[in-house]
Amino acid sequence: MASATEVLERPGREERIAPPWTPSVQGWTARLLVLIGIFGLVLLVTATRPNFWQERIALAAIWAIIGLSLNIVLGYVGQVSLGHHAFVGIAAFVSAWYVTEQAGCTIDKCSFGAFATGTVLAALSGAAAAGLLGLIALRIRGLYLALITLAYGFVAERSIFEIPSLTRGGAGMPATRPDGWATGEEFAYLCFIFLALVIYVDWRFLRSKVGRAVLSIKHSEPVAASYGINVTYYKVLAFTMSGLFAGIAGSLFAFHSQNVVSNDFSFANATLWVLMVVVGGLGNRVGVVIASAFFALFPFLLEMWTWFAHQIEDLGRAMGNVTIVVGAILALFTIISYPGGIGEQVSPISRWLSGKRFSLHPDGHHDEPEVEKKPPSEGGLLSKLGLHKNNDEKETTQLAALGRAVETPVVDARTGETARPETARKPSSEDETPDVWGALTRTKSEDGN
182 part of a folded domain:
yes
Question: How far apart, in whole angstroms, are the C-alpha atoms of residue 306 and residue 310?
Answer: 6
CB atoms within 10 A of CB 278: 23
32 part of a folded domain:
yes
Among 67-81, 96-110, 209-223, 306-320, the minimum mean pLDDT is found in 306-320
- Per the structure, the complete domain to which residue 429 belongs is given by 379-447
Do 35 and 168 belong to one domain? yes
Question: How far apart, in whole angstroms, are the C-alpha atoms of residue 288 and residue 423?
Answer: 62
Question: How far apart, in whole angstroms, are the C-alpha atoms of residue 211 and residue 243?
Answer: 16
The pTM (predicted TM-score) of the whole model is 0.75
Q: Residues 28-46: pLDDT tens digits?
A: 899 999 999 999 999 999 9
130 part of a folded domain:
yes
Query: Which of these three, 265, 284, 303, is where a domain ends?
Result: 265
Do 242 and 109 belong to one domain? yes
Model confidence band, residue 397 (pLDDT cutoffs 50, 70, 90): low
- DSSP-H helix ranges across 338-391: 341-345, 347-353, 381-384
Query: Which of these three, 265, 283, 301, is where a domain ends?
Result: 265
178 part of a folded domain:
yes
Do 109 and 242 belong to one domain? yes
Model confidence band, residue 415 (pLDDT cutoffs 50, 70, 90): low
CB atoms within 10 A of CB 33: 10
Average pLDDT over residues 282-290: 91
**Structural domain total, the chain:** 2
424 part of a folded domain:
yes
Among 13-22, 196-205, 210-219, 354-363, the minimum mean pLDDT is found in 13-22
1 part of a folded domain:
no
40 part of a folded domain:
yes
Do 86 and 225 belong to one domain? yes
Query: Which of these three, 249, 265, 281, is where a domain ends?
Result: 265
Please give the pLDDT value at position 320.
Answer: 66
159 part of a folded domain:
yes
| Segment 375-380 long-range contacts (CB within 8 Å, at least 24 positions apart) | 375/14, 376/14, 378/12, 378/13, 378/14, 379/11, 379/12, 379/13, 379/14, 379/15, 380/7, 380/8, 380/9, 380/10, 380/11, 380/12, 380/14
Among 60-64, 336-340, 366-370, the minimum mean pLDDT is found in 366-370
